[in-house]
Structure 1
């Protein structure tokens, strides 16, 4: 037997004993017949505002002993989630109809608060076995074809018309729990697996019923299962002819909350139970695929054309400059035709605010590294929506861990700019504080607004303190470590010497001046991301799950290549016009795409986000505040990519020519 055959046989024998594992880290939970299930309630959310509120801001039924908040990770807290216990009790494979949760008497103040929430179209969110409750909705497209989709949570009120002020309280919930049977496998050596069920679906349907009962209400009947309602029979279910419970104005109101529990067998496997949540909008996939593929093909074609043009131009220039046998007149003619060689003595002259540029280069490394690792982990499945809060937690952790390369890169560049005469401590502190400091200042200001509005999106003081400890206790020391290594390394040696006297820059044609060229350069990188940006904004502000991280990775790669090439092209034309002030311009040429990102977000806000009137000011502040943070981070990433590509390009071309 040959060595190759032996290796193949050993490989197959080894693979035979390999066991699979579930990557996201959320293991299946099996339930036996009659086991009590814990239903959790989450926040109140609305498509008309980014604000979230506590579920019990509305006087719903509380569990026995009162509600209490359940533990959450830092990602869930930053996302504004607040998970609490509820009054809804389920038992495995036990269906119930018309079970009374409680009876509430709302004060006029409660009624007015409920009206505000109902007018803003708020929905209540719940969870069971880590599955969010979803409402099954059927809608038709423009051709009359019906489609089935899901919306997270259930509407707290029924509205007679879109602009109507007549609301009906949704006080009856029908829960449909879909399950998949688990049979004994006998795979363990010491015991046989017990039969049970896996929950693969959690649906909710809300209804308004004006419940009626005879005599005086017994407050203990809910716990005894002895409540008798004329409008809801435990054997037949709710009366379909029962009137709706209309919300009164400025009066006390009695509300009886009831619910049904239906257990339905499903053939859906446990591993596929999140599919309905990840595809809640049928048309997104088609638009997404079509737009992404077209954008990718067009932009890759443009990138190839740009690379080909640059290669031909530079090859021609380098050939003329390095031709030893050409006459002196031909050499002078070549110098006059192309001006980028004329600035060889000034092209590496340090720019104004060189230390700040070095700081932003380091911050670009930090944010880009965090982004790449986060998307990579998400593509592998570690940051799936089923692992709640994992995405934001990973962002915080990875940003801190990328402090070392940030400090290292900043130190290398600031050492190249200033040599020995440099304040190392100041540069290191700026790298650790400037970018995250701006982000934290905006975040803290928005948090004060959310605190004032009593939104669950407000991060508690203890979490803010934990973030500060993480910033100064983890990120800052790692930046110092990277800075220490960077300052110890040998300085970057430029391929040409810098003249002692700066060369005068000739007047530039209008489109080659800083502002027009920067604005032109930012268009193409934005063109790469604007389609994906639509889906990301929809996921963030319309409370959907974003899961197409494979597409995001592809877009990120195309974006980075585009930023590199557009900055190189614009810098080359700038040097040809004998303007050697390229340092900051290369950063902002690709970084200007963040301006278009912010403008597109503003357009999205005006056309897609339908804000409730009472929450318009605060919602606008929250939206534009967070979009400012996102645009700022986007500028740092794209600016770094454009700068570093231009820097390497300039080093290569000036190292390839002969300078007298």
Structure 2
């Protein structure tokens, strides 16, 4: 009955989580709606440029070939052009560098042609512009907290959807020479879609912005009046990134192709420059169908088309879970229970079970005040003692033989305890992020919120990390709990901080916006040492001194039993790979969507957290059941060193995920450059490390509970 109840609760929870798929991680766009009167000045912010072909991002305002900010005050906004917007920690870490621009937008005021500036670009700036266009960089602008979007339609042309950002330029090949030519998009048509504001603001004629579309265009510099072409709609030649002959004919005209490096000007001639004129158009269009509360939906339309694939991932996961559940049920309900019943009828002595003649039935065991275990000796009935000569001996093998060694202090307990503590800390962080994302607290309008809240949850979870680490450390016989607390608080954060600092050197060298400022590094260091470390210390003290060690049903033997030779599939590497392949099979379909949004389409927003939550819960259950099966097989092979292996069994699927990252990098991505490759594999390794620590803790705690349950199920009262 208890098993049936647990299964009912389990499937009820899965159905509840599956119901979350309908919202795809619905979002709470804000607590106050920004409404605009006719003629209000609308600020446009420029952020950064990014590309799917490289991991290097750049601040838009720092590009050497765009218009420099004028520094003038924007009337009606209180903002100054060129001033930086205050960012949260998550925005800084994700490479955002938001700045007030000189683009002038006034509510409901169309502007068909507006000249911005003409920027002179030298050879270094031109080389940078070619690099940006060649690598397919996208620009991110922001209006009313909405990123500029490129508009597309679905294959059946029934719906429109957005992709964040717009192209910085394009390339083609010269029809005569065959050389590659690069063009900069120096004109942007901005379309602001609006809707009548809800409530009282709408009655007062105010509007809300529900869409921000950007359509870039390349326009040649010639035939311009006051910096603007005579007719924007009749321009057929783009602004090519090339140096023409200068006035003194000292520079050879040559197009910039992939192998061209500009040379210096000879004979003291002035450096050649290219003047790029920038302009823009603004149009306001009413959209009656799109409400302000649903204005982010167009960014997710393309993800909704993959709903059937998400359901396929869930069905695949449930099938694997059902098979594992059946295997675990057989182990617990038949194999172990049957052997326990046999053990309850006999007495263990020197590796033999001496079975009496029970033709007249069994008498109840004598009560004892000592806590017993599965293999505790039971006083035999005097009548049975009289018949001892008629008893037969039967060999004891498998997990029954090592009952006196399974609770032996593990060889690497001083490392295992901090690993489990760090994993528990990461599990709490991941669960918190997933729950907040499913209920819309973390949404695209909260830019950088996922990283900021993740750091906050990780720091607070330090108390739980210290508790589990300290208590396990005490259980493993440790005495230096302060040292263990420092190791627990420094193990993962220290490795993470050191890795990020080294990677930051590469990013700094490329002048990327993803380079973490020195002040932010000191802030992260302060959060680690001044908040997280004390919390881990307090939790470790409570777990070590107050909660005390976990009680074991059987005492360990003084002399450890020798572990026999193991079959090939139970050797460390083979066992890890086999155990890790099962959880990987549960999640690899969903990983396709995660990878596509993280690596292949960084301009997109992964927002089907309902599906991800279901897969994550199933994944944890599969890791638990896989660990139970793997530990049981190991115990049957008379290998009592299960502690570290149970952790490795749980974390082993991280190896498969990293291999899948390498496969995805090779066959799906087009990342170029050594630095981008190093960043990709380092970030992938860190992500797999986080996953491995979290699932390793799940594996160890499950294996520990399983062993305690098995060897403590039969007790003598």
Name the TM-score class by shorter chain: 0.7 to 0.9
| SS in structure 2 of the partner of residue 493 of structure 1 | coil
**More off after superposition, 527-536 vs 196-205:** 527-536
Q: CA deviation at 1:330?
A: 8.9
Give, in whole Å, the separation in 2 of the partners of 1:240 and 1:314: 82
Aligned to 1:257: 278
The 5 Å alignment of 1:431-442 reads 431-442=488-499
Q: Is the 8 A contact 1:528 1:555 kept in 2?
A: yes
Aligned to 1:61: 67
Give, in whole Å, the separation in 1 of the partners of 2:523 and 2:448: 16
Q: Deviations for 1:194-243, whole angstroms, at most 9, x for unmatched residues? A: 320000000000111114457xx8xxxxxxxxx374433xxxxx132442
Q: Is the 8 A contact 2:465 2:488 kept in 1?
A: yes
Give, in whole Å, the separation in 2 of the partners of 1:147 and 1:375: 29
The yes-or-no answer on 1:450 pairing with 2:507 is yes
Q: CA deviation at 1:631?
A: 0.9
**Aligned equivalent of 1:645, options 702, 706, 711:** 702
Closer, same or farther in 2 for the Cα pair 1:657/1:585, shift >3 Å? Answer: same
Aligned to 1:152: 164
Give, in whole Å, the separation in 2 of the partners of 1:366 and 1:171: 49
Aligned to 2:6: none
Aligned to 1:207: 217
The yes-or-no answer on 1:247 pairing with 2:249 is no
Aligned to 1:570: 630
RMSD: 2.5
Closer, same or farther in 2 for the Cα pair 1:395/1:414, shift >3 Å? Answer: same
Aligned to 1:44: 49
Unaligned runs of 5+ in 1: 1-20, 187-191, 218-226, 233-237
Aligned to 2:133: 118
Unaligned runs of 5+ in 2: 1-25, 72-80, 244-261, 263-271, 348-352, 359-390
Q: CA deviation at 1:382?
A: 0.8
Give, in whole Å, the separation in 2 of the partners of 1:79 and 1:130: 16
The yes-or-no answer on 1:328 pairing with 2:338 is no
The yes-or-no answer on 1:316 pairing with 2:310 is no
| SS in structure 1 of the partner of residue 553 of structure 2 | coil
**More off after superposition, 51-60 vs 370-379:** 51-60
Q: Is the 8 A contact 1:351 1:581 kept in 2?
A: yes
Aligned to 1:626: 683
The 5 Å alignment of 1:53-202 reads 53-56=58-61, 57-65=63-71, 67-138=82-153, 148-160=160-172, 165-182=180-197, 185=200, 194-202=204-212
Q: Is the 8 A contact 1:125 1:152 kept in 2?
A: yes
Give, in whole Å, the separation in 2 of the partners of 1:104 and 1:228: 11
Give, in whole Å, the separation in 2 of the partners of 1:23 and 1:53: 29
Q: Is the 8 A contact 1:322 1:658 kept in 2?
A: no
Q: Deviations for 1:566-597, whole angstroms, at most 9, x for unmatched residues? A: 11111111111111010111110121111111
| SS in structure 1 of the partner of residue 56 of structure 2 | strand
Q: CA deviation at 1:310?
A: 1.7
| SS in structure 2 of the partner of residue 34 of structure 1 | coil
The structure having more radius of gyration, on CA atoms, is 2
Give, in whole Å, the separation in 2 of the partners of 1:109 and 1:333: 92
| SS in structure 2 of the partner of residue 586 of structure 1 | helix
The TM-score with structure 1 as length reference comes to 0.88
The TM-score with structure 2 as length reference comes to 0.81
The yes-or-no answer on 1:606 pairing with 2:666 is yes
Q: Is the 8 A contact 2:134 2:170 kept in 1?
A: no
| SS in structure 2 of the partner of residue 436 of structure 1 | helix
Aligned to 2:417: 358
Q: Is the 8 A contact 2:133 2:183 kept in 1?
A: no
Closer, same or farther in 2 for the Cα pair 1:247/1:603, shift >3 Å? Answer: same
| SS in structure 2 of the partner of residue 418 of structure 1 | coil
Closer, same or farther in 2 for the Cα pair 1:172/1:467, shift >3 Å? Answer: same
Q: Is the 8 A contact 2:184 2:240 kept in 1?
A: yes
Q: Deviations for 1:384-440, whole angstroms, at most 9, x for unmatched residues? A: 111111100011000000011111111111111116xx1111101001001111111
Closer, same or farther in 2 for the Cα pair 1:164/1:426, shift >3 Å? Answer: farther
Closer, same or farther in 2 for the Cα pair 1:183/1:274, shift >3 Å? Answer: closer
Q: Deviations for 1:347-402, whole angstroms, at most 9, x for unmatched residues? A: 10011121110111111110101111111111111111111111000110000000
Aligned to 1:400: 459
Give, in whole Å, the separation in 2 of the partners of 1:606 and 1:22: 34
Aligned to 1:481: 538
Q: Is the 8 A contact 2:354 2:394 kept in 1?
A: no
| SS in structure 1 of the partner of residue 38 of structure 2 | coil
Q: CA deviation at 1:24?
A: 5.1
Q: CA deviation at 1:266?
A: 0.5
Aligned to 2:8: none
**More off after superposition, 44-53 vs 239-248:** 239-248
**Aligned equivalent of 2:578, options 520, 527, 539:** 520
Q: Deviations for 1:262-305, whole angstroms, at most 9, x for unmatched residues? A: 10000200011001112345654443333x23323322222322
Aligned to 2:435: 376
Aligned to 1:594: 654
**Aligned equivalent of 1:287, options 291, 309, 324:** 309
Q: Deviations for 1:599-632, whole angstroms, at most 9, x for unmatched residues? A: 10111111111023xxx10100110111111111
